[in-house]
């Protein structure tokens, strides 16, 4: 996987362009937000997340879908249970992943953040393949966007407390952060 800084698209990953984005306001990309998603909830490898982010979800297929039928959302990336990475929105554009949010007193986090969705739920462990892909992708993003330090990586729950709970208690922040800092200073 290699991020093309001119286009904001990663080479070597699946591209599934979403219409749910707009231009970023001028300024830096300085925050990485980790989420989780599964559609229907707790069901994996259904392809429904991709359909949802492309506004192609057949809302008659599952009762849960009726409640999200009118939402227009996206993220920059999705990492599936097997480690497959899909990109929906260029990193240079604003994906609609954070909603009403605030980080260190700055609101509207979509303006200055990138969003990565992990296929999963708050309470089911994520896979080794997901952590490996997440670390690889994060390193690519940090190399391109130097302001995204380990301290500027957070969960959706951190920027929208009380409204969002993901990536949830099953996400191993210590494992992820340790893997990101492994080898630093050598």
Tens of pLDDT, residue by residue over 73-94, are: 999 999 999 999 999 999 999 9
* Residue 120 pLDDT exceeds 90: yes
What ranges do the domains of the chain cover?
1-180
pLDDT attached to residue 184? 58
> Which residues make Cβ contacts (< 8 Å) with residue 92, sequence separation at least 6?
7, 8, 24
pLDDT attached to residue 182? 84
Active-site amino acid positions: 117
User: Structure pTM?
Assistant: 0.96
Q: What is the pLDDT of residues 138-185, one digit of tens each?
A: 999 999 999 999 999 999 999 999 999 999 999 999 999 999 988 654
Computed over every residue of the chain, the mean pLDDT equals: 95
* Residue 133 pLDDT exceeds 70: yes
Rounded to an integer, what distance in angstroms lies between the CA atom of residue 130 and that of residue 81? 6
Rounded to an integer, what distance in angstroms lies between the CA atom of residue 99 and that of residue 46? 25
Q: Is the peptide bond before 40 cis (omega within 30 degrees of 0)?
A: yes
* Residue 186 pLDDT exceeds 50: no
What does DSSP assign to residue 138?
Answer: H
In this prediction, what percent of the chain has a pLDDT beyond 90?
94
66 by DSSP, 3-state: which?
Answer: helix
CATH topology for the 1-180 domain: Lysozyme-like (3.40.80)
């Amino acid at each position: 996987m290699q991020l093309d800084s001119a286009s904001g698209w990663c080479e070597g990953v699946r591209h599934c362009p979403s219409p749910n984005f707009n231009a970023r306001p001028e300024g830096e990309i300085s925050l990485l937000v980790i989420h989780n998603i599964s559609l229907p909830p707790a069901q994996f490898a259904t392809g429904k997340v991709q359909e949802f982010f492309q506004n192609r979800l057949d809302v008659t297929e599952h009762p849960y879908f009726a409640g999200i039928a009118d939402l227009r959302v996206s993220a920059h990336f999705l990492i599936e249970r097997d480690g497959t990475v899909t990109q929906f929105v260029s990193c240079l554009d604003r994906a609609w992943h954070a909603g009403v949010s605030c980080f260190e007193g700055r609101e509207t986090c979509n303006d200055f953040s990138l969003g990565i969705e992990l296929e999963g739920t708050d309470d089911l462990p994520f896979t080794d393949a997901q952590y490996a892909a997440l670390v690889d992708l994060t390193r690519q993003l940090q190399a391109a966007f130097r302001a995204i330090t380990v301290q500027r990586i957070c969960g959706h729950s951190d920027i929208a407390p009380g409204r969002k709970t993901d990536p949830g208690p099953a996400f191993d922040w210590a494992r992820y952060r340790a893997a990101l800092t492994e080898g630093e200073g050598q």
